[in-house]
Amino acid sequence: MLNMITITEKPIDSKRLKDELSNDKAGAIVIFEGWVRNHNENKSVDALEYSAYQALCYNEAEIIFNEVQSKFDILAVSGIHRVGKLSIGDIAVFVGVTSKHRKAAFMACEYVIDQLKIRLPIWKKEYYTSGENHWVNCQQCSQHQHAPIKG
């Protein structure tokens, strides 16, 4: 079973990642791609920069992936998150889940991306068209935390 998270400075190749998740037993694949957009909270954004405490990211992701396997009937899960400076349109995060049936894949993918955003020590700095920049705090993340899902 493919069950991994990667932190990288390199661009994310979503086609390659999708191919790696390919499995003849799978009836479904659900993929989430988080893209760098040109705005946030009524501010025009030119770029983002991500920083991560990688060792803790890997440890916590392993826990999340074990949780998702126990909660949902999935075949594989994979995730990758960029660090460094990203441009508008770049893929910042990728999560892919395969399962025998679509419902489990959808639910598992949502669970993984939500938990990664809440629990991984990854920080985001926004660069604005105005020339300003600042690190975005993650207080909003905890407001969107879901109750545990049983699948």
- Tens of pLDDT along 67-118? 999 999 999 999 999 999 999 999 999 999 999 999 999 999 999 999 999 9
Q: What rounded mean pLDDT belongs to the chain?
A: 91
Q: What is the dihedral of CA 13, 18, 21, 27, to 10 degrees?
A: 170
Q: Which residues pair with 92 in a beta bridge?
A: none
pTM of the model: 0.87
- The Cα 113–Cα 96 span in angstroms is 10
CATH number of 3-143: 3.90.1170.40
In this prediction, residue 138 carries a pLDDT of 52
- pLDDT band, residue 148 (cuts 50/70/90): very low
